[in-house]
Amino acid sequence: MAPNSRLILTRHAQAEHNVSLDYSIHDAPLTPLGKKQAASLARQIPDLQSSAEVILSSPLRRTLQTTYLGWGPAVSRLGGPKSVVLLPQAQECNDLPCDTGSAREVLERDPEFAAFDLEQLTAVLDWTSKRGFWAPGEQALATRAGWVRRYLRDERPEGDIVLVAHGDILRRITARPGAGPSEYPWKNAEVRIFEFDPQYVDTDECFLYQKEDVAAAGGYGLTSTELEIEEAEGRL
């Protein structure tokens, strides 16, 4: 880890399941408005576009689209889409179709995603299975979020690290000690900067603390977990 690394966490822009609340859409992509939100984000953060040293992204469609649209100037400067590090461990939490990624061969057949280095996905077994390490249970999710924090700490030497991911997993990545997942409602195409908490940086959990809010190009779109909570409350 580089001293004083900044972790520039980004939620994807508006996706189809955020609007229709249809969680049967497999690997839900961005809506037309979501693409505009992501493109608008690129213009809101010129300083970060210039300072970003590496771009990491969940390999779901909506995060890949947000990456090349919202972080386009940085992606181009760093070598194009093939420079983006795909991080299946940052995929969304639930095992619903909308939160389940597409196989490498499916993405390769789509010109929109073929420009990414999809070979990275072959080394990550069963990442679309939603079983074991990838399961939606709270213990598995806490383990996966901890894995992401340790990866950022131990494997990324860069100073400014961008991670494009999803609302529910970002809440777990930014969990605080003794408090569980954050309750912060991430907006679509929102960027927030975190750093490692000096008190915990050398521990196994290596918790983060927020340094600043940066930008948000879209409104608030429910995650699949939030919809499930609302539906459960409506049945009470």
Write the pLDDT tens digit of every residue in 213-236.
999 888 777 777 776 555 544 544
CA-to-CA dists, residue 167 to 26, 32, 61, 106, 186, angstroms: 17, 20, 15, 24, 6
36 — pLDDT class (breaks 50, 70, 90) = very high
Mean pLDDT, rounded, of the chain: 92
d(CA 29, CA 104): 16
138 — pLDDT class (breaks 50, 70, 90) = very high
> In the chain, what are the domains?
6-235 (3.40.50.1240)
pTM of the shown model: 0.93
Amino acid 230: pLDDT: 57
